[in-house]
């Protein structure tokens, strides 16, 4: 398992990582488990809460997260973040 040091990434980069991870894993428990390789639990939960609060992500039932593409587009994935998403 590859461990990434995200101290070099901005808050916005972390939000992009979480949004693209949600595309791969809608189940919140699975998503959080996969994100452990790249974010602390606190950063992952904070990013999810921020995305829900800004309506970029919505909660569907108690365990399912979904990008709110009817409200906002999924952000482009920068080249430097592609290996992280691919590794999840």
CATH 1.10.10, domain 6-87, yes or no: yes
pLDDT given for residue 4 in this prediction: 57
Query: Which residue, among 38, 2, 1, 3, has the nearest Cα to 17 in the 3D structure?
Result: 38
What is the rounded distance in angstroms from the CA atom of residue 50 to the CA atom of residue 52?
A: 5
| pLDDT tens string 24-49 | 999 999 999 999 999 999 999 999 99
| pLDDT tens string 12-23 | 999 999 999 999
pLDDT given for residue 43 in this prediction: 93
pLDDT given for residue 71 in this prediction: 80
3-state secondary structure of 88: coil
What sections of the chain are H helices per DSSP?
11-24, 28-35, 41-53, 82-87
Which tokens is 60 given? 């569907």
Number of alpha carbons in the 13 Å side-chain half-sphere of residue 69: 9
With bands split at pLDDT 50, 70 and 90, how would you rate the model's confidence at 7? low
Q: What is the pTM of this model?
A: 0.88
| pLDDT tens string 53-83 | 999 999 998 899 999 988 888 999 999 999 9
């Amino acid at each position: 398992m590859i461990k990434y040091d995200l101290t070099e990434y901005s808050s916005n980069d972390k939000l992009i990582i979480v949004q693209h991870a949600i595309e791969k894993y809608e189940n919140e428990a699975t998503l959080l488990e996969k994100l452990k390789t790249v974010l602390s639990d606190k950063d992952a939960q904070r990013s999810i809460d921020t995305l829900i609060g800004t309506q970029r992500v919505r909660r569907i039932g108690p365990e399912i997260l979904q990008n709110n593409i009817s409200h906002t587009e999924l952000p482009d994935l920068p080249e430097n973040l592609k290996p992280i998403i691919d590794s999840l």
